[in-house]
Structure formats: C-alpha cells, structure tokens
C-alpha cells in the first residue's frame, strides 16, 4: 500500500522531535541545568548550534529536553482522555437512548461548553503550577472528545449483524463493547488521538508560557518563549528556536493525523476530506 | 414539506435550549466555586499579612462571611452575581464588578476584533479553495492553513511585535491608551493582538468552510440545481452557501471561546490591562473573589455565545426547529 505523503512527512517531522526527546535522556550537547554566565546570549554558532540564553544555557539542549516535557504532557493528557472518555462513550452507546446515555452526553456537553484554557488556568493556578497539574487540566478536556468519538463510532456498529449475532450468542453488552466494538473504532480513536496530541502540545506551550506549566529548572518550550520576551529585540534566536520547535512538532502531528485518516478511515477515503471534531484548544 | 417556522416548534426549541443554557450556568458556577474552595490558605490572613493578631483575622473572616457554611456561601455568591454584586476585591478593596467591567472593555472587543478578522480572512479563502479544488491554489491554501493551525498565537504575537513594533515602528509594542482617551489609538493597539489571535482561528475556519462547501456541493440538490441550468457559481451561492454555513457557525461559536481564552494569554504579550491580566494578578495575590468572578464571567460569555449559536442554527436550518 502506498502511504500518503502527509503521513510520511508528518511522521518524519514528529519522529525528529520524538528522537530528540528520547536521546535527551542519555545525552545532550550541554547540561541544561548548569549556568555559564560567561557564555550568555551567544548567537547560534559551531559550539552552541542554536546559541545560548541569558544564563548561558545551550538552547539546542534545552529544546531537546523541552521536547521531552511537551511530549510527556501531551501523551499523558491524551491517555487520560482515552482511558476515561472511551469507556464512557462505549457505555453511552450500549445504553443508547437510556438515562445513562443522556447523563453521559449532557455531562460531555457541559465540559465542552467550558472555555478549556480558562479552566486549565484556574486548575493549575489553584493546585499550584506544575507539569502534573497541566496534564490533568489538559486531560480533562480530552475526555468528552473521546467519549463523543467512541459513542458515535459505536452507535453505528451496534446495528450491524455480527454485533446482533454476539448478542444472540448471549454475550453481555460490556463484553461486546470491548471485544467487538472497541477494535472497530480503534481507527477513529487513533486519528483523533493524533489531533488531541497536537492540541495538547499547543496547550502545554500556552500554559507554560504563562508560567503555569513545568517549573524551572525543567526546560519547556513555552517557558523558553516567555523568558525570551524581554530580550527579543537583541537576541531573537531565543524566541525563534523554541517557536519553530512547537510549530514543527504540531505540524508533524497534524499531517500525520491527516495521513492516518486517509488510510484508516475508509469512509473518508472516497468522500471529501473533512476534519474530525476538534476540541477547544 | 412545510418549512415555514411553526411557532410551537420554535418555542419548544427555544425553551429547551434556554433550560440547558441555565443548567450549564448552574453547573459551571458550582465547578468554579468548588475549585476555588479547595485553594489552600486563608484569604483573611493573607490580606492582613503575617503580623496580624488572631482576633483581627477572625473578625475579618466574619466580615467576609468565610465562617458560614459552604452552601450558604455559594448561594450568597450566586445571588450577589444575579444582582450585579460580585463582591469586594480582597486586595484592591473595590467592588469586583468595577474591576472586571473596566477590563472587559479590552478583552471582549479584542475577541470580537479577532473573530471579525478571522471571518473576513477565512470566508473568501475557504471559498476560493473550494472553488479551485485540487488546483495549485487549493493546495497552496491548504498548506498555508496547515501551518497557521500549528503556530501558537502567543509566539506569532511575539514575531509581530519584533517585525511591526521593534523593526518597523508601525505599532507600539504594547500597552493600551484607553477608549475614552483616544479611540483610534486604542483600536490600533488592539490590532496586532487581534491579528495574532485571528491567524490560527482563520486557518481552522477556512478549512471548515472549504470542506463544508465541498460536502454540500456533492449533494443531490446541487446536481438538480445544475441540471436545471444554474452555473456552478450560481448553485454555490444560492444553494450550497446557506447549507454549508451550519458547521461553519458551530466552529465560529466555539472559536469565540478560544478567542476569549486566547485573549487572556495574548494580553500578557502586549501588556494589555484586560481580564486575563486581572485573573493572573488575582491568582498571585490570592484575590480569590476576583478570580472567581472573572472566570465565571468568561464562562458565562462562552456559554451564552454557544446558546445564541444554537438559536441561530434554527434560523439557518428550519429542519432543526422540530428536533429537541
């Protein structure tokens, strides 16, 4: 099968940052927590590829470790959304039209109606700024997204013959949901997961930009941008590299999502391409 | 089928929407109240500082109503808001409603300005892309919007400042003169923030516009319209556009909430004294009542806009009126 260009390009872009994040556990060109004031604000060069910041820390190394922070936050936030949202969506579909369905869907609407970033700011502000609280704040808003996708995917499957057959064979609704429905909506979930992943990276960047994400000395892209702001007129490299890192990672994930949808979602292949639901931020 | 709006159906639809609107507000207020309640630390002792005597703190707690039960405090807060009384700021000692309304005059116009820019940009771009489907123009537009979605608005804002404020001196890098002092200068100082906010939203909106138009252009009734002699452009204008507007409207409603939330981040880039900065100050100064009320107002604005969008659907699409 020929892979779509978008998938290949997206996977290369994202793979680059994923690799940087993984390598950063073992090696970075410089230590990101050691300050070297003598070498502060160096422009990009042979020694410091992306230059140094106002504390003399190596920007390239900080971007590598920042990739770790961004990816970790977004992965766990998507994980929360899947772990809570998918069972809820499956349950709602299994009890379609019932009280449970109604309760779950109205609860979903409610979370959806909230301006997510505002509530995320509230949560991180109340429980203290940390990467963990950023994860929870972003993760909560992933729950209704996955619940909706799972429910709508599952609803159409519940009318199919093989599900009916499983019911006749005496399998319970929970068992059918996990054995027969879940594997068949996995494609939808993967596509949505990629998109929520990229939104999570953007949300993490925004939260750490306002100081509510990972705390220093842990490098994060958003915080690097915030720190660079006062120096942007004489040291633009401080703002450029973390920004590019965010844009390229998010772009890579979005392209991957598009490409994955093309091959995984057969309904889309022949139809006009449309985007699946996007969650707020 | 009779598609004229029937009064009972429309009434039923509106009542149901109104009910769920009210329910959302109640739920939102409970959530916000609960979150604020778990904040560690006593606002009374925070206000009075470390050297305050326990008696003074106790007296202030009493005066602030911190000793009554949770439910009473919640009801007090809500009934106050319904009367326009948002309490008194712990740190500024002025009514919160004053603080908030002064700042709303920056945050809301900024969000509307951005929504306007985003719509003005997205509609023609989406239309052109749909009309030139598969051609280089379309591919170029799709690539550009893909990039636009990936750019964090606060970073884009910083780049705009470097280019237009620091290098070219066309705009000031931040600050806000005030509407009454200088209207045009105030509008100008919101321009860069609005552009920064609008770009990612415009990219999303243009994509939705395009795919929604292409979706409707593939419908049978468009083929019928073409078959009876309408040109592609006529069919697009007379039949497809209106039907394509439904998903576009949904997204626009959702975008208003992104824009408001985004506005509170962007305000930090441009040092705009809007709601966002008030919230952040309130958080660092433990001025909970300000945070609580400001967040509640933002949530109210978002839920209200979504409610209006729901009603707008019914105007655009008569089929929805019958459904609950």
In this structure, whether the domain defined by B103-284 belongs to CATH 2.60.40.730 is answered with no
Q: Which residue has the higher pLDDT, B81 or A67?
A: A67
Is the CB of residue B196 less than 8 Å from the CB of residue B266? yes
In a domain, A202, yes or no: yes
Which residues on chain B are in Cβ contact (under 8 Å) with A144? Answer: none
The DSSP-derived string for B151-173 is S-HHHHHHHHIIIIIIIS-SS-S
Contact B152 A243 (CB under 8 A): yes
Which of A13, A125, A257 should one mutate to test binding to chain B, selecting the residue with the greatest count of B CBs within 10 A? A125
Of A113, A232, A250, the CB nearest to B306: A113
Surface of B (41-70) touching A: CB under 8 A: none
Contact A243 B155 (CB under 8 A): yes
Alpha helices in chain B, H assignment, sequence order: 7-37, 43-48, 54-64, 70-82, 96-131, 136-150, 153-160, 183-217, 220-227, 232-235, 241-270, 275-284, 288-316, 319-322
In a domain, A15, yes or no: yes
Interface pTM, i.e. ipTM: 0.85
What percent of chain A is modeled with pLDDT above 70? 93
Q: What is the mean pLDDT of chain B?
A: 82
- Closest of B248, B245, B263, B247 to residue B301, by C-alpha: B263
Q: pLDDT, tens digit, for every residue of B278-318?
A: 888 887 777 778 888 888 888 888 888 878 877 777 777 66
The alpha carbon of residue B151 is apart from the nearest alpha carbon of chain A, in Å, by: 5
Q: Classify residue A279 by burial, with Cβ atoms within 10 Å: 0-12, 13-18, 19+.
A: buried
Q: What is the pLDDT of residue A9?
A: 92
Q: What is the pLDDT of residue A253?
A: 93
Which residues on chain B are in Cβ contact (under 8 Å) with A111? Answer: none
Is the CB of residue A94 less than 8 Å from the CB of residue A154? yes
Q: Which residues of chain A have pLDDT under 50?
A: 269-281
Summarize the confidence of residues B135-139 as an average pLDDT: 90
CATH of residue A110: 1.10.3720.10
In a domain, A224, yes or no: yes
B290 touches chain A (CB under 8 A): no
Is the CB of residue B189 less than 8 Å from the CB of residue B160? no
Contact B155 A225 (CB under 8 A): yes
Q: What is the pLDDT of residue A8?
A: 92
Number of structural domains chain A divides into: 1
Of A115, A239, A272, the CB nearest to B261: A115
Which residues on chain B are in Cβ contact (under 8 Å) with A251? Answer: 146-147, 150
For A23-27, B24-28, B34-38, B278-282, which range has the lowest pLDDT when averaged over its residues?
B34-38
B38 touches chain A (CB under 8 A): yes
Opening angle at CA A100, ends A95 and A102, nearest 5: 100
Is the CB of residue B187 less than 8 Å from the CB of residue B265? no
Contact A113 B24 (CB under 8 A): yes
Q: pLDDT, tens digit, for every residue of B160-210?
A: 988 898 888 888 878 888 888 888 888 888 999 999 999 989 999 999 888
Which residues on chain A are in Cβ contact (under 8 Å) with B207? Answer: 275
Which residues on chain A are in Cβ contact (under 8 Å) with B166? Answer: 232-233
Contact A246 B146 (CB under 8 A): no
Which of B100, B257, B292 should one mutate to test binding to chain A, selecting the residue with the greatest count of A CBs within 10 A? B257
User: How many contacts does A have with B, using Cβ atoms within 8 A?
Assistant: 129
Q: pLDDT, tens digit, for every residue of A78-130?
A: 999 999 999 999 999 988 888 888 888 888 877 777 777 777 777 777 777 88
- Model pTM? 0.84
Residue A62 CA: distances (Å) to CA of A127, A205, A222, A224, A239: 26, 14, 12, 9, 13
Q: What is the pLDDT of residue A245?
A: 94
By residue range, what is the domain housing residue A124?
Answer: 5-28+50-269
Contact A118 B295 (CB under 8 A): yes
Contact B147 A247 (CB under 8 A): yes
Q: How far apart are CA B117 and CA B114, in angstroms?
A: 5
Q: Which residue has the higher pLDDT, B64 or B126?
A: B126
Q: What is the pLDDT of residue A278?
A: 44
Which residues on chain B are in Cβ contact (under 8 Å) with A206? Answer: 152, 154, 265
Which residue has tokens 């750490």?
A208
The alpha carbon of residue B210 is apart from the nearest alpha carbon of chain A, in Å, by: 9
Contact A275 B211 (CB under 8 A): yes
Contact A109 B24 (CB under 8 A): yes
Which residues on chain B are in Cβ contact (under 8 Å) with A198? Answer: 150
- Closest of B269, B265, B271, B281 to residue B96, by C-alpha: B281
Residue B231 CB contacts under 8 Å (≥ 6 apart), including other chains: none
Contact B204 A205 (CB under 8 A): no
Residue of B nearest to A211 (CA): B280
Which of B16, B27, B131, B150 should one mutate to test binding to chain A, selecting the residue with the greatest count of A CBs within 10 A? B150
Which residues on chain B are in Cβ contact (under 8 Å) with A145? Answer: none
What percent of chain B is modeled with pLDDT above 90? 14
Which residues on chain B are in Cβ contact (under 8 Å) with A239? Answer: 155, 158-159, 162
Q: pLDDT, tens digit, for every residue of B255-265?
A: 887 788 788 88
Q: How far apart are CA B290 and CA B92, in angstroms?
A: 10
Residue B41 CA: distances (Å) to CA of A202, B44, B292: 31, 9, 16
Of B150, B257, B279, the CB nearest to A247: B150
pLDDT at B324 over 50: no
Q: How far apart are CA A133 and CA A130, in angstroms?
A: 5
The alpha carbon of residue A170 is apart from the nearest alpha carbon of chain B, in Å, by: 35
Contact A113 B215 (CB under 8 A): no
pLDDT at B43 over 70: no
Surface of B (114-173) touching A: CB under 8 A: 146-147, 149-152, 154-155, 158-159, 161-162, 166
Of A239, A255, A272, the CB nearest to B158: A239
Q: What is the pLDDT of residue A143?
A: 92
pLDDT at B87 over 80: no
Q: What is the pLDDT of residue B1?
A: 47
Contact B298 A118 (CB under 8 A): yes
């Amino acid at each position: 099968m020929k892979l779509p260009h978008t998938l290949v390009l997206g996977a290369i872009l994202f793979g680059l940052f994923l690799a940087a994040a993984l390598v950063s556990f073992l090696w970075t060109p410089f230590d990101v927590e050691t300050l070297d004031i003598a070498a502060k604000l160096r422009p990009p060069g042979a020694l410091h590829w992306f230059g140094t910041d106002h504390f003399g820390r190596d920007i390239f190394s900080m971007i590598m470790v920042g990739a770790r922070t961004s990816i970790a936050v977004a992965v766990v936030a998507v994980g929360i959304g899947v772990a809570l949202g998918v069972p809820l969506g499956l349950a709602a579909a299994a009890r379609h039209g019932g009280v449970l369905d109604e309760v779950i869907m109205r609860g979903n609407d409610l979370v959806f109606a909230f301006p997510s970033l505002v509530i995320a700011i509230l949560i991180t502000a109340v429980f203290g700024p940390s990467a963990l609280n950023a994860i929870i704040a972003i993760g909560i808003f992933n729950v209704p997204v996955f619940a909706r996708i799972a429910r709508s995917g599952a609803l159409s499957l519940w009318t199919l013959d093989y599900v009916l057959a499983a019911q006749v064979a005496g399998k319970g609704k929970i068992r059918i949901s996990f054995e027969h429905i879940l594997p068949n909506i996995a494609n939808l979930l993967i596509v949505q997961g990629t998109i929520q992943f990229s939104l999570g990276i953007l949300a993490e960047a925004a939260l750490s930009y306002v100081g509510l994400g990972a705390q220093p000395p842990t490098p994060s892209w958003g915080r690097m941008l915030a720190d660079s702001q006062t120096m942007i007129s004489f040291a633009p490299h401080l703002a450029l590299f973390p920004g590019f890192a965010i844009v390229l990672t998010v772009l890579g994930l979005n392209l991957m999502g598009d490409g994955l949808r093309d091959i995984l979602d057969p309904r889309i292949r022949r139809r006009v391409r449309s985007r699946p639901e996007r969650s707020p931020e | 089928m009779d598609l004229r709006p029937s009064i009972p159906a429309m009434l039923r639809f509106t009542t149901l929407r109104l009910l769920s609107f009210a329910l959302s507000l109640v739920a939102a207020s409970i959530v916000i109240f609960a979150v604020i309640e778990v904040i560690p630390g006593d606002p009374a002792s925070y206000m009075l500082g470390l050297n305050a005597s326990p008696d003074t703190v106790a007296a202030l707690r009493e005066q602030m109503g911190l000793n009554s039960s949770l439910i009473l405090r919640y009801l007090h807060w809500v009934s106050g808001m319904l009367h326009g009384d948002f309490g008194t700021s712990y740190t500024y000692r002025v009514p919160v409603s004053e603080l908030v309304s002064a700042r709303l005059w920056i945050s809301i116009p900024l969000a509307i300005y951005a929504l306007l820019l985003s719509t003005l940009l997205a509609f023609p771009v989406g239309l052109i892309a749909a009309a030139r489907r598969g051609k280089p123009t379309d591919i170029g537009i799709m690539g550009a919007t893909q990039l636009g979605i990936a750019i964090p608005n606060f970073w884009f804002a910083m780049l705009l400042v470097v280019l237009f404020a620091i290098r070219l001196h066309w705009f000031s890098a931040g600050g806000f003169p005030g509407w009454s002092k200088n209207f045009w200068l105030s509008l100008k100082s919101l321009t860069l923030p609005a552009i920064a906010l609008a770009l990612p939203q415009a990219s999303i909106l243009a994509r939705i516009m395009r795919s929604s138009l292409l979706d409707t252009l593939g419908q049978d009734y468009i083929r019928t319209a073409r078959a009876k002699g309408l040109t592609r452009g006529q069919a697009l204008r007379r039949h497809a556009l209106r039907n394509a507007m439904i998903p576009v409207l949904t997204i626009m409603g959702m975008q208003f909430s992104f824009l408001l939330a985004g506005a509170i981040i962007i305000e930090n880039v441009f040092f705009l004294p809007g709601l966002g900065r008030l919230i952040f100050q309130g958080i660092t100064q433990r001025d909970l009542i300000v945070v609580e009320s400001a967040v509640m107002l933002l949530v109210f604005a978002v839920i209200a806009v979504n409610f209006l969008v729901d009603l707008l659907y019914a105007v655009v699409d008569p089929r929805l009126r019958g459904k609950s």
